[in-house]
Structure 1
Amino acid sequence: MSLTPEQRITLHGFNNLTKSLSFNMYDICFTKTKEEREAYIEYIDEQYSAERLTSILKNVSDIIGAHVLNVAKQDYVPQGASVTILVSEGPVVEVPTESYEESPGPLPDNVVLQLDKSHITVHTYPEFHPNEGISTFRADIDVSTCGEISPLKALNYLIHSFDTDIMIMDYRVRGFTRDINGEKLFIDHDINSIQNYIPDEVKSQYDMIDVNVYPENIFHTKCKLRGFDLNNYLFGYTKDKLSDEEENEITKRLQHEMDEIFYGKNIKH
């Protein structure tokens, strides 16, 4: 049950609920030659280097009101990067009323909220098909917090930090906390869909599917970009360089790749 600050239940000790958001994004590209593929991967590694990913995660920390305790970051050879940030409870001010509502979070400004025993991680996975000319970049981000707030408040900023064709999001509340009488509380806010934390202008751009398990406080949403402009999926040139047959074939391959990722299964041509 969601409560206003005036109705807030007095807890016995610290709020021990763990709220975890997993945000997975995919960027798809057609790379016709080995040289194009290598150039695309080099571009991705530069665009989403460990240094830039660290900056993104530090902004997430600011949004959810955390103090950064430790940063571990690594650029991998031949490709990919990882960043892990350990964070602790930030300076506590009165928790804004909006933290109890389902609404998109900031983009970002200096919101100060309460959390403790938390971490934020990102791992990137550039990869390519051996013979279909498809290259895919995936980034996995996990934001786990304890306390009164939800990491969903960082979702709006994360969406705007990546150019993404497909997004897959999981949110779960684990554990329990107790009120002053010892009664267990397994969730401390109302939620019926992750979509309620995504701005309308973003939702209008995607086809979206929810799979939620309400009794277990598990929420799953996946999104696939609706509009398709082939020029956005060609690396280093535009579709006017292609024949009609090539344009149709490449479009078919790209949309097939996106459908398989979105539905999480292999689909026969």
Structure 2
Amino acid sequence: MKITPDQRIQLHGFNNLTKSLSFNMYDICYTKTKEEREAYIEYIDEQYNADRLTNILKTVSDIIGAHVLNVAKQDYIPQGASVTILVSEGPVVEIPTESLQESPGPLPSAVVMGLDKSHITVHTYPEFHPNEGISTFRADIDVSTCGEISPLKALNYLIHSFDTDIMTMDYRVRGFTRDIKGQKLFIDHDINSIQNYIPDNVKELFDMIDVNIYQENIFHTKCKLKEFDLNNYLFGTKKDKLSEEEIGEITEKLKIEMDEIFYGKNIK
């Protein structure tokens, strides 16, 4: 149901609900030699350096309708990067009713809403197994907003900004705001799953699990890529250069790594 401006709840003061989205992506690969592993880490560090991450977060800021106040960014030695952007209320245009509905956000489009006292951060974590040849790259993105629009509207863009094998997403609405009668409102939009903000063509690519606590306005979704093509997980070599025994061993290692991340536990 679309809500017209006349049907909207009138608030006493500013909508100060805090809506926080944590988006975590993982890229897994196999490197046969130490040189290949070092080359993979170097490649990842270049692909997701602080400058590129800053551009991604600035686009997220545009999508949620915020003005960038300050940018702090850092590339780390030996690897990894961080970016933090402080944002404030953006130019308010006519309130789009679609911002309150469960649907994927843009890829991206123009400014859609005004909000206040918000921040967007990203941290990257390239790492590797000490002796199994497995390397894993993780990026953690947090989008925290105050106001009416949900940071979930930036999720579609974030998914398309990274090559990801596994995604975990958390969304929580905190605090409360009041209507003009003083009644507390602990959430200002309907939501039953983060999945409703992910396009169908993306959902078809992943196995997905929800763990939601509706009464606390806490939502969690994790996704693991369905299709497994070994060539997509090899860095520095190709499947046709490996023996059948190597193919079997490497495939098993990669699938165990992905399952452990997806289920959040070590698998023997």
Summarize deviations over 1:63-94 as a string: whole Å, max 9, x none.
00100000000000000000000000100011
Count of aligned positions:
268
Q: Percent identity, aligned pairs only?
A: 86
Alpha-carbon deviation of 1:32?
1.2
Match of 1:193 in 2: 193
CA contact (8 A) 2:2 2:97 kept: no
Counterpart of 1:248 in 2: which secondary structure?
Answer: helix
Summarize deviations over 1:150-205 as a string: whole Å, max 9, x none.
00000000000000000000000000000011110000000000000000000000
Amino acid across the alignment from 1:24: N
Counterpart of 1:235 in 2: which secondary structure?
Answer: coil
| 2-structure distance, mates of 1:153, 1:2 | 17
2:136 aligned with 1:136? yes
| 1-structure distance, mates of 2:260, 2:6 | 48
Alpha-carbon deviation of 1:19?
0.2
| 2-structure distance, mates of 1:32, 1:19 | 43
Amino acid across the alignment from 1:259: D
Runs of 5+ consecutive residues of structure 1 not aligned to the other structure = none
Match of 2:96 in 1: 96
Runs of 4+ in 1 over 6 A off after TM superposition: none
Amino acid across the alignment from 1:26: Y
User: 1:50-129, aligned counterparts within 5 Å?
Assistant: 50-129=50-129
Match of 2:167 in 1: 167
| 2-structure distance, mates of 1:128, 1:80 | 13
Alpha-carbon deviation of 1:116?
0.5
Amino acid across the alignment from 2:158: L
Alpha-carbon deviation of 1:5?
2.7
User: 1:18-33, aligned counterparts within 5 Å?
Assistant: 18-33=18-33
Counterpart of 2:211 in 1: which secondary structure?
Answer: strand
| 2-structure distance, mates of 1:184, 1:94 | 25
**What is the root-mean-square deviation of aligned Cα atoms in Å?**
1.1
CA contact (8 A) 1:4 1:100 kept: no
CA contact (8 A) 2:3 2:97 kept: no
CA contact (8 A) 1:2 1:188 kept: no
CA contact (8 A) 1:90 1:112 kept: no
CA contact (8 A) 1:105 1:197 kept: yes
Query: TM-score normalized by structure 1?
Result: 0.98
Runs of 5+ consecutive residues of structure 2 not aligned to the other structure = none
